[in-house]
Each structure stands twice: as structure tokens, then as C-alpha cells.
């Protein structure tokens, strides 16, 4: 039953592993994560559809989706990089096909140049400065380096931590890790994802490829954020427990040579995930500000997007 309902157990486990969870999470844990992720995806789709309707369109575009997370600059920046590289990859493939047929060797320089140009095809968002004006000048060379660099700080930090983790890995472990990094809700299982997220119900059944990709990217982020938060909670809890234990039984403190192996790291449990979700859902002061002095402290709110 549970197996039928939850379709992404493995992927979620992998993602959690990438995010720092070393133990093997139980199916309950992955199930609850899957439910949360699904709720988030559906909420995103609903909001994006509403946004598109406001534009006068019936189908959502990538802009609608990115608009939902526009305040998270790091995420937007990563998304843009992701999309632009995706574009590059796609065109490169086309190019490859062409190039394959024509001239394999000689045109490498031209191919490079082409690639470079392709890379410039940046994803422009409608709320950026360029859209202030009616005319678009051709792309310049030096743009947004500063901002990008700043937005990439989070990404870099993440990469760095991953690097730290992988430093001490053996080759096999590293292979496993890199495999896990490729885990995705959508990659090569677009159909499954569409069914899972209820595309036909919430929005049009045949979304753009890019949208599915973006959602895949975002779902990974959600799992990662949840896991990290849950791990923090669990660490705090463990610390508390061990300190309590130490207070209770002082003897246990001393370890001896022939003691059995210490208790292994326990995996994240559903309650940690729930607590993490609760924390992430806590309404921000900003959204409450307009209700100051006006009462109505209890109100129905939407699910907050992570």
C-alpha cells in the first residue's frame, strides 16, 4: 500500500544522503517528505497558474514559476544558470548532430565560438532592468558578474561542503555519492512526475519541458532544505539527550577498550521532518505586519513555499 502511494523513496533517500543524512531513513520518513514535497509542488502550480491567469494566459510559463521564488536570489540565480546550461546542452546537441555530419575535426574552433555564443543566451526575466525599456540592445559582454557572484555564494558554500564530505571518500563511495547527486524527481521520469504532481488537475496536463525541469530542480531544493533543517533539529535533540544521559548515568561516560561499538548514527525520523516543516512554515513577520493593531491574529494562510 505504502509502496504504491510513495513513488520516490529511492530518490528521496539519495537526495537526503547528498544533503548530509548518512543513515538510512525509514520509508515513513521518505513518505512524509514525499508528501510535503508534493504539497509544495501543487501549491506552486496553483499559484503559478493563478499568476498566468492574471497575465491572461492559460498555461504557465517558466517566468510564472520563477516569479514565485523571486525573493530567493540565490535560488533564482541557480535556476538561471541551470536553465541557461540546459539551453547550451540542448543546442550543443543539435550542433553536435550537425557538426557530426559535416566536419568533425576542423571546425572545433568554430564550434567553440558557437558554444560561447550559445552560452550567452541568458535567461532574462521580465522583472529585470532590461524590461524597463522598449528596446533591447544586443547583449553586452560584462554583465551581472557581481550579482551573480553574490548569488552564487550559497551555491559555492554548498559545493564546498560537498567537497569536504567527499574528500575522505573512497572511490566507490564517491561514485555512489555522485550517483546520488543525480537523483531527480523528474529526470527521465517526466510522465511519472506529472501524474504524481497532478498536472492535469491543477494546471494543463502538458507542461513545458522547462517547467518540469524547474520543478525537478526545486523539488531537490525542498528535500535538501528539509533534510538540513531536520538534521539540525536532530543534532540538537541528540545533544540534549546525551547531556541528559550523562547526568543520569555517569558511569557510561567512561568507555573501555572492550566495550561494544558505540551506538550508530540514527537516521532522521519523521518527527524531525515534521518539526523541520513546521519551522519552515512559520509565518514571517513581514506577512503579519499589516495586521498589527487590527486584531485577527488567527487566520488561514497558504502553505509557505520553501
Q: How far is the CB of 144 from other proteins (least distance, A)?
A: 8
Query: Among residues 109, 129, 257, 299, which is the contact residue for other proteins, using CB under 8 A?
Result: 129
DSSP state of 279: H
Q: Measure the CA–CA gap between 280 and 231, rounded to whole angstroms.
A: 13
- Choose one: 136-144, 175-183, 226-234, 269-277; the region binding other proteins (CB under 8 A): 136-144
Kindly indicate which of the ranges 129-137, 177-185, 195-203, 229-237 contains the residues binding other proteins, using the contact rule CB under 8 A.
129-137
Of 92, 53, 14, 48, give the one whose Cα is nearest residue 212: 48
Output the smallest distance, CB 129 to other proteins, in A.
Answer: 5
Stretch that binds other proteins, among 7-15, 80-88, 138-146, 262-270 (CB under 8 A): 138-146
Q: Rounded distance, CA 274 to CA 29, Å?
A: 9
Among 147, 179, 235, 238, binds other proteins (CB under 8 A): 147
Give Cα separations from 8 to 12, 109, 183, 219 (angstroms).
Answer: 6, 43, 10, 11
Q: Which among 34, 38, 43 has a CA at the least distance from the CA of 2?
A: 34
If one asks whether residue 292 binds other proteins (CB under 8 A), the answer comes out as yes
Identify whether the C-beta of residue 199 lies closer than 8 Å to the C-beta of residue 205.
yes
Instruction: Based on the shown chain and the rule CB under 8 A, indicate whether residue 137 belongs to the binding site for other proteins.
Output: yes
Which residue's CB is nearer to other proteins, number 122 or number 181? Answer: 122
Interface with other proteins in residues 262-291 (CB under 8 A)? 284-290
Distance CA 89, CA 228 (A): 31
Of positions 100, 109, 133, 262, contacts other proteins by CB under 8 A: 133
d(CA 85, CA 123): 10
- Between the alpha carbon of residue 218 and those of residues 29, 61, 114, 121, 223, the distances in Å are 19, 15, 30, 22, 9
Stretch 227-266: interaction string toward other proteins, x if CB under 8 A: ----------------------------------------
Site string for other proteins, 82-111 (x = CB under 8 A): ------------------------------
Q: Which residues make up the interface to other proteins (CB under 8 A)?
A: 127, 129-138, 140, 143-144, 146-147, 284-290, 292-293
Amino acid at each position: 500500500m505504502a509502496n504504491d502511494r510513495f513513488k520516490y523513496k529511492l530518490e528521496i533517500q539519495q537526495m537526503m544522503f547528498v544533503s548530509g543524512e548518512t543513515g538510512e531513513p525509514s520509508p515513513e520518513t521518505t513518505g512524509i517528505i514525499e508528501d510535503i514535497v508534493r504539497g509544495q509542488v501543487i501549491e506552486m502550480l496553483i499559484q503559478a497558474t493563478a499568476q498566468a491567469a492574471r497575465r491572461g494566459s492559460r498555461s504557465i510559463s517558466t517566468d510564472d514559476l520563477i516569479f514565485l521564488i523571486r525573493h530567493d536570489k540565490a535560488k533564482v540565480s541557480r535556476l538561471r544558470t541551470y536553465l541557461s546550461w540546459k539551453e547550451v546542452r540542448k543546442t550543443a546537441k543539435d550542433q553536435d548532430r550537425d557538426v557530426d555530419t559535416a566536419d568533425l575535426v576542423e571546425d572545433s574552433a568554430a564550434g567553440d565560438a558557437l558554444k560561447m555564443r550559445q552560452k550567452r543566451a541568458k535567461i532574462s526575466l521580465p522583472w529585470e532592468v532590461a524590461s524597463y525599456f522598449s528596446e533591447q540592445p544586443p547583449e553586452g559582454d560584462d554583465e551581472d558578474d557581481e550579482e551573480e557572484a553574490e548569488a552564487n555564494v550559497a551555491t559555492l558554500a554548498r559545493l564546498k561542503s560537498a567537497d569536504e564530505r567527499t574528500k575522505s571518500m573512497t572511490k566507490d563511495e564517491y561514485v555512489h555519492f555522485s550517483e546520488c547527486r543525480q537523483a531527480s524527481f523528474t529526470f527521465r521520469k517526466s510522465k511519472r512526475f506529472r501524474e504524481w504532481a497532478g498536472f492535469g488537475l491543477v494546471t494543463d496536463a502538458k507542461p513545458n519541458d522547462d517547467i518540469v525541469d524547474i520543478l525537478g530542480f526545486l523539488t531537490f531544493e525542498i528535500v535538501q532544505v528539509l533534510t538540513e533543517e531536520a538534521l539540525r533539529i536532530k543534532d540538537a535533540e541528540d545533544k540534549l539527550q546525551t547531556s541528559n544521559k550523562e547526568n543520569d548515568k555517569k558511569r557510561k561516560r567512561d568507555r573501555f577498550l572492550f566495550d561494544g561499538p558505540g551506538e550508530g548514527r540514527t537516521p532522521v525520523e519523521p518527527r524531525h521532518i515534521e518539526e523541520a516543516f513546521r519551522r519552515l512554515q512559520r509565518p514571517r513577520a513581514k506577512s503579519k505586519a499589516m495586521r498589527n493593531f487590527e486584531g485577527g491574529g488567527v487566520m488561514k494562510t497558504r502553505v509557505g513555499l520553501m
